[in-house]
Amino acid sequence: MTQPTVPFVGGWRMSVGFSDQGACSGAPRFNASLRIAPDRLLVHLSGELDLGSEVEIRALFDKIAGHEAAVTVVDLSQVTFIDAHGIGLIVAAYRSAVEHGRVLGVVGLQGIVAHMFRLSHLDALVLTEPQAHYREGDVGGQG
């Protein structure tokens, strides 16, 4: 399920994919890659964030909550669908980050995902580019 970790600027990278069966058989419904630097965590999600991937998404966000990064940026630019379960999990991760004095926000909203965030009045979770301090290949400004 988890691919081997490979070195990354200031930390390590991990990628995971989940299909309907909860394993990597066939085309995954949901993928996540983590890029970790000492002060920043980039979580790139792709595929469908819905009831079918809830268990895997919850486990991912639980793992993220245990990280010491001051800022977590969740990139949703490759998410093709999100329902109330996916939104709820992101909100729960946001609340957990705030409780621990950390920042968690999202970037890359488009299409149905942007629409769902607008409908849910979750503008506070959306980071601008300077807030996210994220450019591909530059997590935590170290690249």
Within 10 angstroms of residue 31's Cβ, the number of other Cβ atoms is: 20
Decide if 143 is inside a domain. no
pLDDT digits (tens, 9 = 90+) for 37-59: 878 899 999 999 999 888 888 88
User: Which residue, 5, 4, 12, 1, is CA-closest to 41?
Assistant: 12
Q: Is 85:93 a contact under the CB 8 Å cutoff?
A: no
Q: What is the mean predicted confidence (pLDDT) over 109-121?
A: 92
Number of domain units in the chain: 1
* CATH number of residue 37's parent domain: 3.30.750.24
Decide if 44 is inside a domain. yes
- Can you name the residues that pair with 17 across neighbouring β-strands? 31
Decide if 103 is inside a domain. yes
Question: d(Cα 99, Cα 43) in Å, to the nearest integer?
Answer: 19
Considering the entire predicted model, what is its pTM? 0.73
* pLDDT > 90: percent of the chain: 43
Question: d(Cα 134, Cα 137) in Å, to the nearest integer?
Answer: 8
Range of the domain at 112: 6-132
Decide if 34 is inside a domain. yes
pLDDT digits (tens, 9 = 90+) for 61-95: 888 888 888 999 999 999 999 999 999 999 999 99
The answer, yes or no, to whether residue 28 has pLDDT greater than 50, is yes
Decide if 142 is inside a domain. no
Sign of the alpha-carbon torsion through 143, 45, 86, 66: negative
Question: d(Cα 104, Cα 25) in Å, to the nearest integer?
Answer: 31
Mean pLDDT, the chain, integer: 76
pLDDT of residue 65: 83
Q: Is 85:92 a contact under the CB 8 Å cutoff?
A: no
- Work out the pLDDT band at 130, boundaries 50, 70, 90: low
Decide if 138 is inside a domain. no
Decide if 68 is inside a domain. yes
Q: What is the mean predicted confidence (pLDDT) over 10-31?
A: 50
Q: What is the mean predicted confidence (pLDDT) over 91-118?
A: 92
